[in-house]
Amino acid sequence: MNLGFIGLGAMGRPMALHLIKGGHRMGVWARRAESAAPLVAAGATRHDTPAALAAVSDFVFTMVTASNDFEQVILGEQGLIHGAKPGSVVVDMETISPAVARAVAQQLATSGIDMLDAPVSGGPMGAEQATLSIMAGGKVEVFERVKPLFECMGKTVTRVGDSGAGQITKACNQLALLVAAQGVAEALHLAGRLGADPAKVREVMMGGVAASRVMELFGKRMVERQFDNGIDTRLYHKDLGIVLDLAHEACIAMPAGALVMQQVNALMGQGRGRDDLGALITVLEGMSARD
């Protein structure tokens, strides 16, 4: 099978490498040669444009950053749509707006190209270990064709519904995750300010009903004041923007989501978009600063 991959960052690179390990021929497109280098070293071919890559691929996966990047790579001047073969499949794995996913899928369909929206949860660690949770939206038959490829990259692979449903599920996931992270930040901040040992309090909480992956991962970084090796907060900022746009458009009250956005906005406004989300605790510390 000829595969293509666009978007070779902290997530895309290990995901593409797992597909190569799965025994597939891989083509890539990247603006900068450095981004493509680890893939080329593993046997992938670098193409000059998304369209050129699409021309030789049965399936093209994208893991770029935001809705705009995705639209550009697919529909732009040298976009994938201008080269892709009818019957080929585009798989959008970044987190974008469900509306953009649906609109692009419809446009691709007019050229006979299928699309799945299939964002992931699990972060760079999940990508490295091929333990991602993959939530796909699109036609059943297209999903079944892509499923063995998803299984090279993830542990939990689920078709959640039609086009757009993957992105809706991802939006829900990010909302639950971000609100939980704010809860952990407030709990550990309270612990510290009341003279308890946040490390011990976190450990105890991990033994009870408050236990969560968020407590495990982000809580640990909050306790260790280690904010430089996780997923960039700017990505959560983008994702939460998608959530609140959905809520706004459909007039759905989302009180805690909106509140957490303000905390994330504060962090972004401090120029800390490349910090891990664990840095949410520092926003609370700033609010309750003593001296």
Active site residues: 170
Q: CB under 8 A: which stretch of 1-9, 17-25, 31-39, 208-216 binds a copy of itself?
A: 208-216
Q: Nearest CA to 262 among 192, 179, 174, 176?
A: 179
**Contact between 126 and a copy of itself (CB under 8 A)?**
yes
The C-alpha atoms of residue 142 and residue 157 are separated, in whole angstroms, by 14
Q: Which of 88, 163, 173, 233 binds a copy of itself (CB under 8 A)?
A: 173
**Contact between 140 and a copy of itself (CB under 8 A)?**
no
**Contact between 116 and a copy of itself (CB under 8 A)?**
no
**Contact between 109 and a copy of itself (CB under 8 A)?**
no
Residue 117, phi then psi, degrees to nearest 5: -100, 125
Q: Which helix (H) or strand (E) holds 26?
A: strand 25-29
Q: CB under 8 A: which stretch of 7-15, 43-51, 114-122, 142-150 binds a copy of itself?
A: 114-122
In the complex, minimum distance from the CB of residue 272 to a copy of itself, in angstroms, rounded to a whole number: 18
Nearer Cβ to a copy of itself, position 86 or 208?
208
Nearer Cβ to a copy of itself, position 91 or 132?
132
Helix, strand, or coil (residue 252): coil
Cα dihedral sign, 24-27-31-32:
positive
In the complex, minimum distance from the CB of residue 215 to a copy of itself, in angstroms, rounded to a whole number: 7
Return the exposure string of 240-265: e unless at least 16 CB atoms fall within 10 Å of the residue's CB, then b: bbbbbebbeeeeeebeebeebbebbe
Scanning residues 76 to 105, which ones bind a copy of itself (CB under 8 A)?
98
Nearer Cβ to a copy of itself, position 57 or 212?
212
**Contact between 250 and a copy of itself (CB under 8 A)?**
yes
**Contact between 205 and a copy of itself (CB under 8 A)?**
yes
DSSP-derived secondary structure for 180-210: HHHHHHHHHHHHHHTT--HHHHHHHHTTSTT
Size of the site for a copy of itself (CB under 8 A): 74
Q: CB under 8 A: which stretch of 9-17, 63-71, 78-86, 117-125 binds a copy of itself?
A: 117-125
Q: Which of 104, 214, 223, 261 binds a copy of itself (CB under 8 A)?
A: 214
Between β-strands 45-46 and 59-62, what pairing exists: parallel, antiparallel or unpaired? unpaired
**Contact between 265 and a copy of itself (CB under 8 A)?**
no
In the complex, minimum distance from the CB of residue 40 to a copy of itself, in angstroms, rounded to a whole number: 31
Residue 222, phi then psi, degrees to nearest 5: -65, -45
Q: Which of 14, 122, 138, 278 binds a copy of itself (CB under 8 A)?
A: 122
In terms of DSSP H, where are the helices of 98-164?
A: 98-110, 123-128, 140-153
Nearer Cβ to a copy of itself, position 38 or 123?
123
Q: Which of 74, 116, 149, 177 binds a copy of itself (CB under 8 A)?
A: 177
Is 96:74 a contact under the CB 8 Å cutoff?
A: no
Longest dimension (CA), the chain: 66
Residue 154, phi then psi, degrees to nearest 5: -140, 165
